[in-house]
Structure 1
Amino acid sequence: MGFLLTVSFLIHGLSLFCIILLYMQVTKVKRIERLHQQNINKMEAAMGSYLAEFQEQNEQFLRQLRERSTSLSSEVEKSSVKSPLVDEEDVPVQRVDLKSEPSQSLHELLSIEENQKHIRTPFDELTTDQIQDLSGEEIKEFSFYLKRKGLTIEEIAKHLHRGKTEIELLLKFHQ
């Protein structure tokens, strides 16, 4: 009988120990849930204030835009009202003979201007500063030139200081 009583006390002690461990686990989970809910509330408050501030800035921007448009329209109206009307009779008329040939100097200027447009440094002699200053069309030409030379897309991108995907798309659209 004493043996059974001892075993009963051991089982009761073990069950009490398990109950205490489970209670600690439950309180820990509840505490984590409470902290999580507090963090959610803080984030909602921060997002709400951010959205309210953003909306206020948008409304202020729209007000300024409306004010500018009204002030510009009123200025245009004032300037159109203030400008004197010109009678067609008061304006002297010059007659130009369109059949006459343009002067030799005009032809020279046009040819010089066209030559200057076509003069540019070869692609091999471009510096990094010149490469960065290239326009979109020149970048296309330069990338095609480098591709014809046998460079890979990565090498072309590195040489042009552009993204690999940008060069891939540029070459793909050209094909």
Structure 2
Amino acid sequence: MIIASIVILFILQLLMFFFIVLLQLKVARFNQLEEKQNRLMREMDTTISTYLIQMQEENNRFIEELTKTPKAPTQPVVHKQTKKPTVDIVESTEVTLPKVQEKPRMVVPKTKAAKAYQQQEVKAPIAKPQTVEEQAVALAAKGLSTEAIAKQLQKGKTEIELLLKFRA
């Protein structure tokens, strides 16, 4: 009796050690996963920050180029008329183009646009397949004989007669 209880306790201790090792392995995997996630977050953070820095540098270069370009004079072109009214002499060779006023873009929420698009869609009528009974009644309404209806629907003559009789 004592020996049996000692053996049982020994087996239970072995099982406990086994479960402790399993739990330790799971904790180690979880820690590795957490480290990997942190490393990926750091990499993403550095990637995004370098991208933003590059964008800022490009924007600064673009602004510098815009400020370096010579501006066109805003004075209107002056025409001199000589004694002949058909000949115009232009003093300035630079021509200023009228400024095009940009219309502000109208922003529409996606849900509203999707709803309007769905309302514009033309919905084709869905033709649901007719049953044999409906087809037989339709063909009988066209004036076909029961034999012709049976041939067309590949059914027996008496079956079509019964369908039409019970349908009417």
Q: State the TM-score, normalized to the length of structure 2.
A: 0.49
Higher relative contact order (CA 8 A, sep 6+): 1
Larger radius of gyration: 2
- Determine which structure has the larger helix proportion and give its number: 1
TM-score, normalising length from structure 1? 0.47
